[in-house]
């Protein structure tokens, strides 16, 4: 059964960020089950880990609490990720960035990922491509083409259907990538190799400067 992890970096309860992440998770689960597979969904609210993350950042040796360790393990072992953040000062929230600062840089290498963001107005929509995608590109996540931005006006009224359509399109892309990556549905992804997360033992040691110069005559 594929494992989907839904991360919301909203600060309030309820929040538009959690609202969007729930919509994306629900639509992705629907897209997966429509193809004959079940999915296990885990939701992580970063606001509940704020103190844990701050402690890990400032403590000697980076002490990780059990709650934070469980969240990190869920993300590392996920077959698909949904990441949604509010926009603060033209970028992702501090909670969002701090979580990934504390995550191993190889933890989501190759993981199918759907990104979303919320803000008060549509003028912040470029944060998806100018802030979130570069961060996940550095972490080598497999980000689906469609990102979902939602302004306050998109939750209801004349724009609600546009948001719903975009959510469904992005969710379908994530579902396709998850199923192809994990080869879980017979007949849909036969022969596709399973994605494997890299571990520390998979990374070869970097040669020393002396080794690089050895045999060089120039």
The model's pLDDT over 109-163, given as tens digits with 9 standing for 90+, comes to 999 999 999 998 888 899 999 999 999 999 999 999 999 999 988 888 778 899 9
Cα separations in angstroms, 134 against 1, 5, 49, 91, 200: 30, 20, 24, 12, 23
Mean pLDDT of all residues in the chain?
86
Does some domain include residue 218?
A: no
pTM here is 0.82
Does some domain include residue 184?
A: yes
Helix (H, G, I), strand (E, B) or coil at 118: strand
Does some domain include residue 98?
A: yes
Domain count, the chain: 1
Quick: pLDDT tens for 43-101.
999 999 999 999 999 987 788 999 999 999 999 999 999 999 999 988 999 999 999 99
Does some domain include residue 148?
A: yes
CATH number at residue 56: 3.40.50.360
Burial class (CB in 10 A: 0-12, 13-18, 19+), 190: exposed
* Buried-exposed string 7-35: b where 16+ CB fall within 10 A, e elsewhere: bbbbbeeebbbbbbbbbbbebbbebbeee
Does some domain include residue 112?
A: yes
Quick: pLDDT tens for 10-51.
998 889 999 999 999 999 999 999 999 999 999 999 999 999
Closest-CA residue to 5 (of 80, 114, 69, 108): 80
Does some domain include residue 146?
A: yes
Does some domain include residue 71?
A: yes
The domain in which residue 28 lies consists of 3-213
């Amino acid at each position: 059964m594929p494992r989907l992890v839904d991360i919301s970096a909203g600060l309030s309860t309820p929040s538009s960020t959690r609202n969007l992440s729930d919509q994306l998770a629900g639509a992705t689960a629907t897209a997966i089950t429509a193809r004959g597979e079940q999915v296990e969904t885990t939701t992580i609210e970063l606001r509940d880990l704020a103190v844990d993350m701050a402690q890990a950042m400032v403590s000697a040796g980076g002490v990780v609490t059990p709650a934070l360790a469980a969240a990190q393990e869920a993300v590392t072992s996920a077959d698909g990720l949904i990441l949604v953040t509010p926009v603060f000062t033209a970028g992702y929230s501090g909670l969002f960035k701090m979580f990934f600062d504390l995550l191993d840089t190889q933890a989501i290498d190759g993981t199918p990922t759907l990104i979303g963001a919320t803000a008060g107005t549509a003028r912040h929509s470029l944060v998806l491509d100018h802030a979130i995608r570069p961060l996940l590109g550095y972490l080598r996540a497999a980000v689906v083409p469609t990102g979902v931005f939602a302004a306050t006006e998109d939750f209801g009224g004349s724009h609600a259907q546009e948001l719903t359509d975009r959510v469904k399109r992005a969710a379908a892309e994530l579902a396709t990538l998850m199923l192809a990556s994990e080869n879980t549905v017979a007949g849909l992804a036969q022969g596709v190799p399973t994605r494997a997360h890299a571990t520390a033992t998979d990374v070869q040691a970097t040669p020393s400067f002396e080794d690089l110069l050895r045999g060089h005559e120039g």
